[in-house]
């Protein structure tokens, strides 16, 4: 205990205290494991899919103008 009164003893004590505080902060601030997430159900392959694109006369005319050289 007499070491704590000397300047070197105080520095050692403070260094140990700061090291311990840093270790506690690092352990408490560590990211935790993610909770199990439920994945959305996969779409039914037999279900009808929405039509996203229709080839109309207007579209045909547009593509004809693109391919003209």
Q: What does the pLDDT look like over 19-44, one tens digit per residue? A: 988 888 877 776 666 667 788 888 78
pLDDT band for position 63 (50/70/90)? Answer: confident
**What predicted TM-score, i.e. pTM, was given to this entire model?**
0.35
Q: What tokens appear for 67 in the block?
A: 């391919």
Distance separating alpha carbons of residues 34 and 37, to the nearest angstrom:
8
Tell me, rounded to whole angstroms, the distance of Cα 42 from its chain centroid.
Answer: 23
1 pLDDT higher than 70: no
**Who contacts 2 (Cβ-Cβ below 8 Å, separation ≥6)?**
9
Q: What tokens appear for 38 in the block?
A: 């439920």
* H helix or E strand, kind and range, residue 15: helix 7-28
């Amino acid at each position: 205990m007499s070491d704590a009164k000397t300047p070197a003893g105080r520095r050692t004590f403070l260094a140990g205290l700061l090291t311990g505080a840093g270790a506690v902060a690092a352990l408490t601030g560590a990211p935790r494991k993610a909770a199990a997430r439920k994945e959305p159900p996969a779409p039914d392959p037999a279900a009808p899919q929405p039509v996203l694109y229709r080839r109309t006369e207007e579209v045909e005319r547009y593509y004809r103008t693109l391919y003209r050289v």
